[in-house]
Structure formats: C-alpha cells, structure tokens
Amino acid sequence: MHNQGRYVFNQQHRDNLSWWNRTWLPQLVPKGALLEVQLPSDPVRWIPYGEPDCQPSPLWDVAEISGPWYPGGPPRHHRVAVQLEGQHTVPNPERYRESANPYELPGVYIPVEKRVLGSSAITIFDYQLEPGPDDDYSAGRGLATICLRPDPIPDDVRVLGFPPDTPPNYVLTLVVGVRQASLGGGLPPTPLPAPPEVHPGPDVPSQPDDPHG
Amino acid sequence: MSSENGVLDYALNMVTLPVPVGERQLTLNTFNGQLPGPALRVRPGDNLRLLLTNQMVPAGIPTNNLAYCASTPADPHYDTRLACLQDLWKKLLQGKTPLQAFVYTNIHTHGLQVSPNDPGDNVFLRLEPLAQHQYSYNIPTDQPAGLYWYHPHYHPSTAHQGWQGLAGPIIVEGDIDAVPEIAEMRERTIVISELWIADDSGETPYSALLPIAGDVSYDSMPAVPSSMYFPLNGQLIPDITIQPGEAQRWRVLNAGPDRFIWLHVEGHTMEQIGTDGTPYHTPRSRPHIMLAPANRAEFIIKAGEPGRYRIYAEAYDQGHPGGPRPYLPLATLVVRGKRVNSRMPSTLVEPPRMPNLPVVRRRTLVFSGDITGRNGLGMQMLIDGKEYDHMRIDQEVEAGTVEEWTMVNEDVSQHPIHIHTNPFQVIDVQGIPPGDTSWLAEREPGVWWDTFRIPPRGRYTLRTYFRPDVTGLTVYHCHLLPHEDRSMMGNLLIDPPGAYPRGKP
C-alpha cells in the first residue's frame, strides 16, 4: 500500500508552528510534485485561496541567502504555481478529540467530558506543482504556498488541530526543486521504482515456502 | 536455532543491510541480515543466552530534518536559532536527538516469564552503536509451550526499529508438541511484518510520526511519499502449500507496530490451539482471528478441496484517522497434491490455572490520546493523563499476589496493552462496538493473554498473578509502538513477596 507518490501534509505541517516559536520547517519537495493536504473539516469547511493574500511565510534563511539556482538565474525564492486538482472528504468521527493537555495546564488532567470535541471528518485536497517547460531548469523551482481558510471561523481553533492562540488559516510554504535526500549511512541508494500494486486476488508468481516451515 | 543440553547460546547482530522485498531493494536494520530474525527454539527450564551486538547505522534521515535551526523567527525579540542550538546540545548530551535515539537499542523477550533484571529482560538498557550485551534468560519450568518473540524495546525508538521488521520468533517447545495428532503435523511459523518505507530512498523515514488518513497510516515531518509492506517471513503474498485433507500447525505472529491483522483464510476455518503462547485445553473453531500488534495465534488449518485461497486481513476500523484500515492480502493458500486425511486432536493440554488467591488490590488505568499536534509535534499518548517518565514508579505490586486492573480507554483508537513478564486473563470487556464481529477469543474467559486491546471508549478488567520468583522493574504499555514511543507506557515495580511497598527498585 502506498500514498501514490504524494507528499502528504496535515495540520501539523503548517507554517506558524507554536511549538517552534511560530516559525516553520523547510518542507522540501521536487518540482512537479503531487501534494495532498488533509485537514479536520467539521464543523468548518476549508476554502482554498491564492495570491495576493496567500504569501509564503517569512523566508527560510538558507533559501533566502543562498542566491540564484545558477549564475544570473532567478532567485531560489521564485514563486511556483500550485494547481488544485480535486478534493474529497472522509469520515473521522471523534478522532481529533482533545486529550489531557499537560502543556497548557501542567499536571492537570482534563476529564474527557470537558475536552474539545474536535472534527468528525477530514477533507483531502489534491494539488500538483506546475513544473514549467522541460528545457528550463529553473522553471518550477522556488517557493510554493498552499493557503486555506476555514468557513466559518470556529470559536475554538483547537477543533482544527491548532493550538488555542493560533490564527485559523492554514498556510504551508514549500521549498520546491530540492529533493529530500537520505544521509543513508554511506549505503548505496536504492532505485526509485513504482511500489508494487497489491491486488485483492493475488496472482503473483509462486514464492518458496516460508523458511521456518 | 535449538537449545542443546538445556542451553541455547546465540549471537544476534543488529546490522543495516540491503534487503530485497518484492521487486524493491530496501535498506533495513535486521537481525543477522534476516527478515524476520532467526527463529529460536528452547524448552521450559532452559537457559537462553543471546549476545546482542548493535551494528546499526542511521539510514533514512531526510536532510532537512536537521535544518530547522536555520528557520527565521517571527518574533524579532527571540532568537529561535540560538534556542534551537541550545536545545540540540542539551538533547545531544542526553542522547535524545533522533540521530542518536533511533540507533540505540536493546531487546525484549515478549511473553517469556523471565527476570526483568540484568542480564535478563531489562528494557531500560541502552545499547549504543558498536556495543555488545550478553543477555541470559532462565526460562521457568512452567513457561507454557508456544510462540513468543523478541524485538527491540529502547524507548523512544521501538516504532522506528519495528517499521524495519526487527523481530524474530521464540518457540518454547513442550507438552502440546507431544499431542500425537499435532506431533504428526507440518509446522509453519509465520511472522507478519509491517514495513514503512520512503519511496525514494527505500529506507524507513527517520523522523516524527504523524497519523494520516489513507492507505499509509503515518507520515513524517518533513513529509515523504511512502509505502507500507506486509511481508510474511520477508515475502510479499507468498504461496503456502498444503495437500487436500492435510492439517498443518501454524504459529502466526503480528510483529507490526500498528496494523491490526484480522486474519481470514478463504474457504477454511482455523482450529485455534493457543493464544499469546499459552495453549488451550481443546481446539476452538474460528472463522477468523484478530491479531492486534504483538498478538500470536497458534492454530490448525485443515485443507479443503484443491485450489487457491486468499489469506488476508479484512478491513478493520482500529480508530485510525480516516476510518478503517483497508483490506490487505497477505498470502495464498495453495491446496494441491495427493489427498490425505490428517487426524485432528480433540484434547490438547491442561493450561495454567489462576491461583486460588484473593484479589489483594484493584487498580484503574486510563488511556488517552491526542493526534492533532496542537500540543507539540506528533502524537501525545498518555496513561492517567501523564507522559512516560522513566524515573517514576507508576505501579508497584507484590510478587506472589493476584490483582485486578481495569483498563479504561478514553480514546477512539483501540489500544492493545501489553504487560511485561506476567500474562493475564480478562474477566470483563465493555464497549465492543455493535456490529464488530472480530471479538471472539477476547470474549472467552480463561484465555491467557500478554497483549489485549481496549475497545474504543471501552474498558476491560484483567486478573493477573505476579509470579513469586520474578521481581524487579519492568513496564506496561500500548503495543501500537508509535504510541509507546510517545508516552503510553508506565513503569511497573514488582516487589519480592513480603517486601511491599518498597517505593524504589
């Protein structure tokens, strides 16, 4: 089973991370990547929005100072267009119900009946980054931003999976064109095949019996 | 590997190697280069000696996992980068950076009723890279004969090492093997692994876990496209051959860190003869068997007509985001060859009995979880509202006594709770969802378990006997290993008889 080569993001991948002093982590994706954003979506629904309101969060220093992709080329924080390809909702009854919360109330256990009920559904948004022309190395590289706003804005943003004092908008800034690499411990990298499909009716070639049999 | 003259002395090397799975080559941590680890066979009363060597290297680290120190603070009055470096330095000294923690390890002999103290089943041990440790387990003479297993148990890296298939079976041979009908049967030991692999690198992502909807249960920070594989003894959807009318004895272990395996064999029933290592008095017919992570089932399968039959895990809602985990094909039962008519046993062995002692103490433990991330990166899983603290004694008991524990689940996720060292019987279960037909053995009194799942927002009460000859400090925890790593674990101090309470090991 696989996630179809998509980079999956949820509310925890957003910018403006309260647990990291409201900064963001550099999310690296290759150009043309398929993206999936999963957000708690009941009692709210999420509405995608774009420029001019949707802007990257304050730039990651390395992206900002590292200059262009090549001498005379465009800067690395060049904007990359994102295309929304579809959305659907899956049920998620009570799975985001808030639990005890020692960070907000150290040492205090919150009885279950006093917790935030949370969302009973997840909405999944499918995006693709526009890669640009094949013969333009710098095309499709730079910064991409995904923005969604809730409607209506809930009284308590914790139902969105956000900390209490967080703005309700979901903003995700991506660094595009820098593929994540593995340090790999010096081992040879493995190729990048499509993961094998799993069929309900297996008809794969016979394998030897199990070694312990 | 079998014991000889009462001793099995064996070396286990945890080593990072390329491992072929299906059509891919993965880079995994392994025991002795094998997926799963080698099977160990012992008998009650034996001494099991394992020399464990840690030769793992950190593989699967996304480069930007370490780069967050470069991020710009939104608050100009607070230097995030300095705080980051201070935090990293502090964690480095404590050995708590991911780079360190995910290659520290130890080993747990799951289900063996052995001492939790060195050189026994000490799960507090930290074995650093290139270090060795000599374990020695004195298996009690009354250890039930059945399937147990070993796997790494270093907190908080159990899931990361579990996603790589680091597990191996321990088979305790004994009385049930002498039942004539069973002694005649072919025997198979089947370890179901659950591998979580990044698509580009072929390695297990080396980062925080975020539960997500979809076929792949978890994502990482930073996100990477990934896949989950469920090989049986290292093979994807293998054929398992059997003759028409032949009865085979299967020992099946769910070694996966997260997925509940609701085991079905198309067109066949399973005659279960044991749970979690402890045999039954008589076989019990099952149309299906639920294996929560860490559960084992031993059963006899008698082949029907020639043909190919699916062996699969039915879709099941274990409380994961987005609903049921999907249908999962595991293997194919291939019935072919000369027809035979294997004998089936009607009586097995006398299972252990709960001592006729009064219940000296009753306790209630509350399990809760938060997967939103609003309290910090990743999940937060708690027992009695508390994060795990390796210095705290959460429960103190007296060896030689019987206790009843009520396990309350405030979460929609089912939590399979494992108590180390002593098995238990479940005397009451509440909150099984209407229409959930997967609860069969779980409803039967007298079955011995070492891992038992709490229904969503439900509860159960277990009765256990702390055997008098095993004392020391051990743990209990959720066997969804990402939950264990994120604090759903407690320390259990077993005092010697007459020495309760001591308050410290």
How sure is the predictor about B114, in pLDDT bands with cuts at 50, 70 and 90?
A: very high
Query: Quick check: A170 contacting B, CB < 8 Å?
Result: no
Quick: pLDDT tens for B438-453. Answer: 999 999 999 999 999 9
Q: Which residues from B are below 8 Å from A12, CB to CB?
A: 210, 221, 372-373, 377-378
Partner-chain contact B219 A25, CB within 8 Å? no
Q: How many angstroms separate the CA of residue B45 from the nearest CA in chain A?
A: 24
Q: Is the peptide bond before B283 cis (omega within 30 degrees of 0)?
A: no
Query: Quick check: A117 contacting B, CB < 8 Å?
Result: no
pLDDT over 90 at B190, yes or no: yes
Q: B192: nearest CA in chain A?
A: A210
Closest Cβ opposite residue A207 in set B74, B224, B238: B238
**Strand pairing partners for B406?**
B364, B461
Q: What are phi and psi of A160, to 5 degrees?
A: -90, -5
CB-CB contact of A59 with A29 (8 Å): no
Q: How many angstroms separate the CA of residue B400 from the nearest CA in chain A?
A: 33
| Structure tokens belonging to residue B292 | 């929560």
Q: Which residues from A are below 8 Å from B199, CB to CB?
A: 2, 5, 192, 195
CB-CB contact of B411 with A118 (8 Å): no
Q: Which residues from A are below 8 Å from B226, CB to CB?
A: 2-3
Q: Which residue has the higher pLDDT, B24 or A21?
A: B24
Closest Cβ opposite residue A2 in set B189, B190, B215: B215
Q: Which of B26, B57, B63, B71 is best to mutate for the A interface (most A CBs within 10 A)?
A: B71
Partner-chain contact B227 A192, CB within 8 Å? no
Quick: pLDDT tens for B115-142. Answer: 999 999 999 999 999 999 999 999 999 9
Quick: pLDDT tens for B435-489. Answer: 999 999 999 999 999 999 999 999 999 999 999 999 999 999 999 999 999 899 9
Q: Are strands A34-40 and A7-10 parallel, antiparallel or unpaired?
A: parallel
Quick: pLDDT tens for B353-396. Answer: 999 999 999 999 999 888 887 777 788 888 998 889 999 999 99
H/E element holding B301?
strand B296-302
Q: How many angstroms separate the CA of residue A86 from the nearest CA in chain B?
A: 16
CB-CB contact of B248 with A34 (8 Å): no
Q: Is the peptide bond before A211 cis (omega within 30 degrees of 0)?
A: no
Quote the CA–CA distance of B435 and B438 in Å, as a whole number.
9
Partner-chain contact A112 B410, CB within 8 Å? yes
Gyration radius of chain A over CA positions: 21
Of B305, B485, B454, nearest to B366 (Cα)? Answer: B454
| Structure tokens belonging to residue B153 | 């148990």
Reduced 3-state DSSP string for B231-267: CECCECCCEEEECCCCEEEEEEEECCCCCCEEEEECC
Partner-chain contact B227 A3, CB within 8 Å? yes
Q: How many angstroms separate the CA of residue A198 from the nearest CA in chain B?
A: 7
Partner-chain contact B372 A96, CB within 8 Å? yes
Quote the CA–CA distance of B350 and B354 in Å, as a whole number.
12
Q: Which residues from A are below 8 Å from B59, CB to CB?
A: 182-185, 187
* pLDDT at site B372: 81
Secondary structure class of B325 (helix, strand, coil)? strand
Q: How many angstroms separate the CA of residue A155 from the nearest CA in chain B?
A: 16
| pTM of the predicted model as reported, rounded to 2 decimal places | 0.91
Q: B229: nearest CA in chain A?
A: A1
Partner-chain contact A25 B222, CB within 8 Å? yes
- In the predicted model, what is the mean pLDDT of chain B? 92
| Structure tokens belonging to residue B324 | 């049921």
How sure is the predictor about A66, in pLDDT bands with cuts at 50, 70 and 90?
A: low
Q: Which residues from B are below 8 Å from A6, CB to CB?
A: 225
Reduced 3-state DSSP string for B83-139: HHHHHHHHHHHHCCCHHHHCCCECCEEECCCCCCCCCCCCCCCCECCCCEEEEEEEC
Of A68, A64, A80, A203, nearest to A139 (Cα)? Answer: A80
- In the predicted model, what is the mean pLDDT of chain A? 74
Q: B168: nearest CA in chain A?
A: A212
Q: Which residues from A are below 8 Å from B384, CB to CB?
A: 109
Top mean-pLDDT range of A178-187, B39-48, B57-66: B39-48
Quote the CA–CA distance of B71 and A61 in Å, as a whole number.
6
Q: Which of A9, A11, A20 is best to mutate for the B interface (most B CBs within 10 A)?
A: A20
Partner-chain contact B23 A97, CB within 8 Å? no
Q: A113: nearest CA in chain B?
A: B410
Closest Cβ opposite residue B25 in set A100, A109, A190: A190
